[in-house]
């Protein structure tokens, strides 16, 4: 019986199947119910007791070796089959082009605005989205009872001391003034957060871009001329602007700026609601209190600031009627901006 066991072991070790079918046939022949190993097990029952120990070990070893070898051969064959399937069957076949992404319209508009102001000497400044009360409200001259501090408008992360999601990019102004000495000329794009119900014209997350210019002798005339230049560069040479008095805690005087409606040439249409004008930004001369809070001498320096919503500008530029489209990232929407300049 030892001879039979050794013979079978040798055949197992030397077995090299060419096909999976051959391997399976071999497995059945050796390990199957009517296989050679099973027959040897039967024979084992009849051997003399003094031989049982040695032969039992040999049989066990044979069974283990055979099972392991067959499993190994099987997994090798499967790997080879997978590798072959992945091989290019026809190297002359034209490849499939990966589709290129396109820039998001918000990024397109942001880049355009940054580019226009960089021509006027502005550099980009950045700041955190999670802010404290000082940088979003207190340093910007918001009185303690101002409604913007209310839970209704602001997402608070912690109360006392207040940690919150910034509600406007004006916080970057504060950080810049704390860090830098005048002259300061920065443009600050970023995401802002307000606790608003989501609709076609409002979202709880949107993008603003804010500008700040501080130096000796900066006047409201400088502000007006800078914004006129900006409007003409962004919307076209024929664009006019008008300023309406307004109020922000951090600027005095403050104004809201409208651009002439490009769609109707100022005659009045549904987009400008018949007025011929579209509101695009808020601005004003930086309040002396704000300069002082940020360590800048208001007797020596003056400056202006302006801020606008990027979604709003993008809506006007691309004629998008629903703000929510900017956040859904439906590729059918995004691909329409493939050819837009960035």
The nearer residue to ligand PHE, 182 or 190, going by C-beta atoms, is 190
Please report how close the Cβ of residue 205 comes to ligand PHE at its closest, in angstroms. Answer: 14
Q: Which of 297, 259, 294 is nearest to 276 (CA)?
A: 259
> Minimal distance in Å, beta carbon 283 to ligand PHE?
5
Q: Which residues contact ligand PHE by CB under 6 A?
A: 168, 170, 210, 248, 251, 282-284, 305-307
Which positions ≥6 away from 94 have C-beta within 8 Å? none
CB within 8 Å of 323: residues ≥ 6 apart: 199, 200, 201, 202, 203, 206, 311, 315
Looking at beta carbons only, is 112 or 141 nearer to ligand PHE? 141
Taking the least distance from each CB to ligand PHE, the nearer of 227 and 305 is: 305
193 or 248, CB closer to ligand PHE? 248
Q: What 3-state DSSP class applies to 205?
A: strand
Toward ligand PHE, which CB reaches closer, 62 or 212? 212
Q: What value does the CA radius of gyration of the chain take, rounded to a whole number of Å?
A: 38
State in angstroms the smallest separation of the CB of 255 from ligand PHE: 8
Cα–Cα distance between 309 and 210 in angstroms, integer? 9
Write down the least CB distance from residue 286 to ligand PHE, Å. Answer: 8
Closest approach, Cβ 256 to ligand PHE, in A, equals 9
First CA to last CA distance, the chain: 83
**Parallel/antiparallel/unpaired status of strands 184-193 and 123-124:** parallel
Nearest to 211 by CA among 287, 301, 285, 278: 285
Q: Which residue is nearest to ligand PHE (CB)?
A: 307
């Amino acid at each position: 019986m030892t001879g039979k066991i050794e013979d079978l072991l040798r055949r197992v070790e030397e077995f090299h199947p060419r096909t999976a079918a051959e391997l399976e046939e071999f497995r059945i022949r050796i390990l199957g119910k009517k296989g050679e190993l099973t027959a040897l097990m039967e024979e084992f029952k009849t051997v003399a007791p003094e031989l049982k120990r040695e032969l039992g070990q040999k049989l066990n070893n044979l069974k283990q070796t055979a099972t392991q070898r067959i499993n190994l051969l099987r997994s090798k064959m499967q790997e080879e089959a997978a590798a072959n399937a992945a091989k290019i069957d026809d190297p002359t076949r034209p490849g499939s082009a990966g589709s290129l992404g396109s820039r998001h319209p918000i990024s397109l508009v942001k880049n355009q605005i940054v580019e226009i102001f960089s021509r006027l000497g502005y550099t980009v400044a950045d700041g955190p989205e999670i802010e404290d009360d000082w940088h979003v409200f207190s340093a910007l001259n918001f009185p303690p009872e101002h409604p913007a501090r209310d839970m209704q408008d602001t997402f608070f992360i912690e109360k006392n001391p207040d940690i919150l999601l910034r509600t406007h990019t004006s916080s970057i102004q504060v950080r810049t003034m704390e860090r830098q000495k005048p002259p300061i000329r920065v443009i600050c794009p970023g995401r802002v957060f307000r606790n608003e119900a989501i609709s076609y014209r409002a979202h709880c997350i949107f993008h603003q871009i804010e500008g700040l210019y501080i130096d000796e002798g900066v006047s409201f005339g400088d502000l007006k001329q800078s914004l006129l230049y900006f409007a003409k560069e962004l919307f076209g040479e024929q664009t006019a602007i008008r300023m309406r008095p307004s109020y922000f805690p951090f600027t005095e005087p403050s104004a809201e700026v409208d651009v002439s409606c490009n769609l109707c040439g100022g005659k009045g249409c549904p987009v400008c609601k018949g007025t011929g004008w579209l509101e695009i930004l808020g601005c004003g001369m930086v309040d002396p209190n704000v300069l002082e809070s940020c360590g800048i001498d208001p007797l020596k320096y003056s400056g202006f600031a302006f801020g606008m919503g990027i979604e709003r500008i993008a809506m006007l530029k691309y004629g998008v009627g629903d703000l929510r489209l900017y956040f859904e990232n439906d590729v059918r929407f995004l691909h329409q901006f493939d050819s837009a300049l960035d």
